[in-house]
Amino acid sequence: MSVYSLKTTDKVPEPTLRRLPWYLSTARLMKGRGERYASSTQLARQLGMDASQIAKDLSFVNVSGRPRVGYTVDELIDVLERFLGFTERHYAFLFGVGRLGGALLADSGLEQFGLEIVAGFDIDPSLVGHEINGIPIFHTTEFPRKMQEYAGVNIGVLTVPISIAQEVTDMMVDGGIQAVWNFTPFRIRVPENIVVQNTSLYAHLALMFNRLNLNK
């Protein structure tokens, strides 16, 4: 049994999953400063959080702290990266090469976190047949064929206008996409076995504006 066996089959609470990247980035910073060990107390101090919360969160990943010294920084980074899925390669198609979609194709930053967008789809003749950042853009009608051609794609990034968000989602799901990363402010509906991750920048903007108003 590997030291790094991952308990990914356990259901990890979403708040924990949201906090794990904080511990990863802090561990990376500590490594950058040449530090070798990180206790949950040290992590807590740097993050302004409760040490017991951190210890509890880290109990979901198989990393074993040692008394006094805590976790090894290298092991913490390694285990968190694996646990969060950043070391695996995931392949995605992107639907809707507008402003946001085009920006996501151009930003290869997602790759270092394990997401590789291998093709974009659009119906705009000025885009189809072209490339952004080396990523080809096909006509949306070609999707089912490309799904056969590119093996291993199971994620669809949704950056289309809201008026066609559901229609494109249905097409994706019919074609075999298993997870939709939804950047639209539209609540898409999918069968139960399909994963939806909503990342609406506009919803986040609204939250921020609202809190700013409360502070006035």
Give contact residues for its own copies (rule: CB under 8 A): 8-9, 11-12, 14, 17-18, 20-22, 24-26, 28-29, 32, 47-49, 84-86, 88, 90, 98-100, 103-104, 106-110, 113-115, 154-155, 162-163, 178-179, 181, 184-187, 189, 193, 195, 197, 199-215
Fill in the DSSP letter of residue 183: -
SS3 32: helix
Whichever of 3 and 208 has its CB closer to its own copies, that residue is 208
Report whether 92 contacts 118 (CB < 8 A): yes
Report whether 45 contacts 30 (CB < 8 A): no
Whichever of 98 and 129 has its CB closer to its own copies, that residue is 98
Whichever of 37 and 91 has its CB closer to its own copies, that residue is 91
- What single-letter amino acid sits at 27? A
- Residues 101, 164: Cα–Cα separation, whole Å: 15
Shortest Cβ 174–its own copies spacing (Å): 17
Fill in the DSSP letter of residue 88: S
Whichever of 47 and 146 has its CB closer to its own copies, that residue is 47
